Amino acid sequence: MLEDNWTGTSTVPSRNLYPHQWSWDSAFIAIGLRHVSPLRAQTELETLLNAQWGDGRVPHIVFNPSVPLDAYFPSPDFWRSSTAGRAAGAPRTVQTSGIVQPPVHALAAWLVHEADPGLSRARGFLARVYPRLAAWHRYLLHRRDLGGGGLVSVVHPWEQGMDNSPCWDLPLSRVAPAPARSFRRADLAHGAPGDRPTDLDYGRYVRLAADYRDGGYRDRPGGGHGAGAGAFAVEDPAFNALLIASEHALARIARELGAAGTARHARARRLTAALVRRLWDPAAGMFLCRDVRGGRLIRERGVCGLVPLLLPALPREIAAALVRTACGPHFGLGGAVRLVPSHDLLSPAFDRHRYWRGPAWFNVNWLLERGLRLHGRPGPAAALRRAVLDTADSSGFAEYVDPYTGEPRGAAGFGWTAALALDLLH
């Protein structure tokens, strides 16, 4: 499958639905590829980082010029990166989107290095990617602290990656949708409408992306209390947890390159403390998203609020509460479901088939399996690992599945599903 989706320099998430290079997909795919071709895994990450903008952002899509424009929406002529993104330093040689995705890349780079340190050293892999990864984190920490509390905000649901999560319903309700006739969706040619976001969601996605583009992809940090935020700004626990995990990985990379790495570990611990301060909700027993514009926590329980289990410096009682919540009625781990769903099973917004409103995703379950192992729960971790492997196989490496039955939904032959199953086999 990974062979089928390989283009020569990177891997597409899906030949039909997502025919270009996606940022966080590539990071997860590299984590699997390292077991079969460490060289290919290094190339995957370097291709993505070659499209980095001058201000440090790593774009969420790098477009393949040989794919027809109408194969995916929004296409390069919508984003207009080389003109609209000029002031932010968009590259001239390649077309990209102008928003970002979760920063899994430094974690991926470290894991890829570990798979074959000899090859990595011989090729100078870490020495080449380190300054780029450091600039990427700098961009997020300095340009995207829109809430003024030390965490990163996303300015579009596509940036967080869980596009139509019920967690975004409240902040998105303030966004006037672009008229339906002003754009044409390409995803419905390949995905069932009941598995995908709605037209109203898309209208809002288009409005937010177009406004950001028309503002030259400029960020306005530092206002405090959301003063610098546009129509949509959310501090999300999964995005920030992945940044922190990657910051710990950057510390290891720095050490491998001969530096101390202690300042980075200390920064990761400070960020963990900010995450707890701003997003931990003791009553819910999990992390919640913060609506920066509205200045309050969003009461929906998305699986994003369990992802910080990945963090080594999490206080012990918080890790224990996260495990209890994952295994309780809202997420059903080890009980009602085969895999952890993307949203609260008890929420009226839960929909077992619709994209990120309930289906189970393989990257999230892979992250939770890591978190369970890290925090001393080998039994539940082993059971989850088995369930991920069985369901990946029985679903034909689906993009996502019904969390109760494992029935495949979305695209078949999905890149990170195959890659992360491969990783769990090793």
* Nearest of 381, 382, 385 to residue 371 by alpha carbon: 381
Whole-number minimum distance, CB 148 to ligand DGY, in Å? Answer: 27
Establish whether 114 is a catalytic residue: no
Q: Is 163 near ligand DGY (CB under 6 A)?
A: yes
Whole-number minimum distance, CB 21 to ligand DGY, in Å? Answer: 11
How does 238-249 read in b/e, with b if 16+ C-beta sit within 10 Å? Answer: bbbbbbbbbbbb
> What contacts 54, CB < 8 A, 6 or more positions away?
88, 89, 90
* Cβ-based nearer residue to ligand DGY, 46 or 163: 163
Count residues near ligand DGY (CB under 6 A).
4
Whole-number minimum distance, CB 99 to ligand DGY, in Å? Answer: 8
> What contacts 5, CB < 8 A, 6 or more positions away?
11, 12, 13, 14, 15, 413, 415
- The DSSP annotation for 144-186 comes to --TTSSSS-EESSHHHHS-TT-GGGHHHHTTSPPPPGGG---S
Q: How many other CB atoms are found less than 10 A from the CB of residue 119?
A: 15
Whole-number minimum distance, CB 187 to ligand DGY, in Å? Answer: 6
Enumerate the β-bridge partners of residue 290.
Answer: 235, 297
* Cβ-based nearer residue to ligand DGY, 60 or 343: 60
Whole-number minimum distance, CB 258 to ligand DGY, in Å? Answer: 37
* Nearest of 323, 358, 325, 324 to residue 343 by alpha carbon: 358
* Cβ-based nearer residue to ligand DGY, 187 or 247: 187
| Biggest alpha carbon–alpha carbon distance for the chain | 56
* Cβ-based nearer residue to ligand DGY, 162 or 345: 162
Q: How many other CB atoms are found less than 10 A from the CB of residue 174?
A: 12
Closest-CB residue for ligand DGY?
Answer: 158
Q: Is 158 near ligand DGY (CB under 6 A)?
A: yes
> What contacts 320, CB < 8 A, 6 or more positions away?
375
Contacts (CB under 6 A) with ligand DGY, residues 350-409? none
Establish whether 247 is a catalytic residue: no
* Cβ-based nearer residue to ligand DGY, 61 or 387: 61
> For the window 312-351, what string marks contact with ligand DGY as x by the rule CB under 6 A?
----------------------------------------
What amino acid is encoded at 242 in this protein? Answer: L
Whole-number minimum distance, CB 317 to ligand DGY, in Å? Answer: 35
Contacts (CB under 6 A) with ligand DGY, residues 111-130? none
Using the structure block, give the residue that is written with the tokens 């000029």.
Answer: 86
* Cβ-based nearer residue to ligand DGY, 20 or 377: 20
Q: What is the enclosing helix (H) or strand (E) of 22?
A: strand 21-22
Q: Is 195 near ligand DGY (CB under 6 A)?
A: no
Contacts (CB under 6 A) with ligand DGY, residues 53-92? 60
Q: How many other CB atoms are found less than 10 A from the CB of residue 277?
A: 11
* Cβ-based nearer residue to ligand DGY, 187 or 351: 187
Whole-number minimum distance, CB 325 to ligand DGY, in Å? Answer: 26
Dist CA 159 CA 144 (whole Å): 12
Whole-number minimum distance, CB 373 to ligand DGY, in Å? Answer: 28
Contacts (CB under 6 A) with ligand DGY, residues 165-194? 187
How does 200-229 read in b/e, with b if 16+ C-beta sit within 10 Å? Answer: ebbbbbbbbbbbbbeeebebebeeeebebb
* Cβ-based nearer residue to ligand DGY, 129 or 411: 411
Contacts (CB under 6 A) with ligand DGY, residues 196-215? none
Cα three-residue angle 326-329-332, rounded to 5 degrees: 50
In the set 236, 256, 369, 399, the catalytic residue is 399
In the set 163, 291, 300, 344, the catalytic residue is 163
- Residue ranges that bind ligand DGY, judged by CB under 6 A: 60, 158, 163, 187
Active-site residue set: 163, 399
